[in-house]
Chain A
Amino acid sequence: MGEEALDIAAVAAIARISLGEEERERLGRQLAEILRYAEQLMAVDVEGVEPATHPFAEGAVPAEDAVESGFSTDEALRNAPRREGNLFSVPRVLEDV
């Protein structure tokens, strides 16, 4: 079912990955094959079975709400592709009005 439904261009846009035409064709073909393989799950009787999102029932344990020292501004910005002063620099987001 999924292979016909897989609109590779639309899904790639959701994943924020720009694809060329050749890449779209190739990845689309490979993903269709993987989805065909996954279709064996459709035959499993899962009526009344709870989905497991985690291995164990305990779930996450909240951390104590205590102050810890973090990075300095310089450390936090050390890997920035572009930086201006104490800020990450990006092209403008808002259009002129």
Chain B
Amino acid sequence: MAEDLPYRSLRSLADGLADGSLTALALAEAILARTAALEPRLGAFISWDGDDLLRGAEESDRRRRSGQARSRWDGIPIGIKDLISVHGQPLTNGSRMLGSYVSPYDATVISRLRAAGFLPWGRLNLDEFAMGSSTEYSAFHCTANPWDLSRVPGGSSGGAAAAVAAGLAPGALGTDTGGSIRQPAALCGITGLKPTYGRVSRYGVTAFASSLDQVGPLARSVDDVAILCATIAGSDGHDATSARLAVPDLLAEAQNFRSWTIGIPPEFFGEGLQPDVERAVRAAAAFFEREGCAIRSISLPHAPLGTAVYFLTATAEAFSNLARFDGIRYGHRSRGAEDAVDIYGRSRAEGFGDEVKRRLILGAFVLSSGFQDAYYVRAQRVRTLIRRDYEKALAQVDFILTPTAATTAFPIGARNMDPLAMYLSDAYTVSTNLAGLPAISVPCGLDGQGLPIGLQLIGRPYGEGDLLAAANFFQKAHGFHLLRPGAVEEGAAEEGSS
């Protein structure tokens, strides 16, 4: 059982904690030992506070012994992307800009995890301010893909995906602005859900593009993702954009198979799609059809414009959101500044990396007078067209089935010098953020090189339950989620003797 501990499901861990065969302390110690052994080659974390985890685990064990467990999940560690505030812990956003900033409060999603007894664990690596698709734009280091250490884990939630895939966390919270949960989940062979815009509070989460950002879970099974989504979802008075809607029983809904009508958009099966990926995704569609679902070809004619719209939208919003990082109230302040205004320009020049600078400058440009109508406003109009395409399609089908990413994990260094090539890594995921829709990525096989492939299901607004049910049904029939990354397992075996 000890060997299996890093890969046990949330329910299995909860059962062990309930019947006394496992303690939160033993679980925390096992995770810390494995993290210490694998981190040198994986780099999934920016930092972690082992003492905090052990303290939290001991408190959890005490609660449970006295019959005060907060829920059956009490004592299970959940990894946290270093863009989400955890009281008393550092918050870097993958940037040098924050200096030695320590969060003075918990994000709402963290308060909700704690209310169920989950233990926030570690600060997981990301592209700086979540701007990137590989973690190569992290100011600290690139995370390795547990399936092949010479490849990227995807991004921006690459640290979260790699940690979960490598058994360093039973689940994790990430954020998704253009694919940042789904694409790394696909590249690391795990499951990731971007909930509907507004389903989960963004309070305490560093804002990148406020009309696109959404927090969501990454885990090793659909069931685990459903448990975490149910824990963090729901209306929050601290976030004016959080939907004032009751959340249905996602765990029950995740079990409901129906004979769905499923849409396949040809726009997601075009040029640049890796043949192995296309085969696996089409096989998944054929599976649903055999099981009694109806498959229909639908059209999303404006979706291929998603990357261009995303860039003009997300950079404009980032330009506004990241104005707060000015070296005055917190974060890095340049020592070379001569006057108050000079602090801004120099602190930001020193604190931000290239990708963030590119995006902020582009954002300033698309909002500047004379260009705003041609770029920003036009992008918003095309965004309306993209949304209408989805509305029309989802009136005819229950959900849409596509690849999550056009390729499996690419080698470290392959795209980081070519910003446009990196942006196109999210071509199949960005349009759902523009339309605000929920989407899930679930493993659907391995390519010829043994790298995981992700299947994306896109649903109706607040239709997480249906997505979870379909993904769960697919997962149970195939078991791709049970495959383990070879590269990191070999690493674990070598380290195990030391």
Contacts and interface: CB of A to CB of B under 8 A. Distances in A.
A56 B240 contact: no
A50 B381 contact: yes
A30 B332 CA distance: 26
B328 A31 contact: no
A27 B382 CA distance: 26
A15 interface: yes
Nearest to B103: A79
B381 A49 contact: yes
A2 B380 contact: no
Question: Which of the listed residues B244, B352, B375 has the most CB atoms from chain A within 10 Å of its own CB?
Answer: B375
Contacts, number: 182
A5 B358 CA distance: 16
Interface residues of B, number: 79
B182 to A, nearest CB: 16
Contacts of A75: 104
Given A6-B365, A55-B434, A41 B461 contact: no
A54 B371 contact: no
Interface in A1-43: 1-2, 5-6, 8, 11-19, 23, 27, 30-31, 33-35, 37-38, 40-42
Contacts of A38: 308, 311-312, 375, 379
B333 A17 contact: no
Contact of A2 (B329, B340, B365): B365
A27 B102 contact: no
Contacts of A1: 374
Question: Which of the listed residues B338, B354, B362 has the most CB atoms from chain A within 10 Å of its own CB?
Answer: B362
A27 B309 contact: no
A83 to B, nearest CB: 10
A67 interface: no
B338 A91 contact: yes
B382 A41 contact: yes
Which 4 interchain pairs have the tightest Cβ spacing? A55-B436, A51-B380, A79-B330, A81-B333
Given A15-B363, A82-B333, 10 more contacts: A18-B348, A31-B365, A37-B420, A38-B311, A44-B378, A46-B382, A49-B384, A55-B435, A79-B104, A81-B332
Interface of B: 99-102, 104-105, 197-198, 211-212, 237-238, 240-244, 302, 305, 307-309, 311-312, 319, 323, 326-333, 337-341, 343-346, 348-349, 352, 354, 357-358, 360-365, 368, 370-371, 374-375, 377-385, 387, 419-420, 423, 433-437, 461
25 contacts: A1-B374, A15-B360, A15-B364, A16-B323, A16-B345, A17-B349, A23-B357, A27-B358, A33-B420, A34-B423, A37-B307, A38-B379, A40-B308, A41-B378, A46-B378, A49-B384, A52-B387, A55-B435, A55-B437, A63-B240, A75-B104, A79-B99, A81-B328, A88-B329, A91-B339
Interface of A: 1-2, 5-6, 8, 11-19, 23, 27, 30-31, 33-35, 37-38, 40-42, 44, 46, 49-56, 58, 60-64, 71, 75-76, 78-82, 88, 90-93
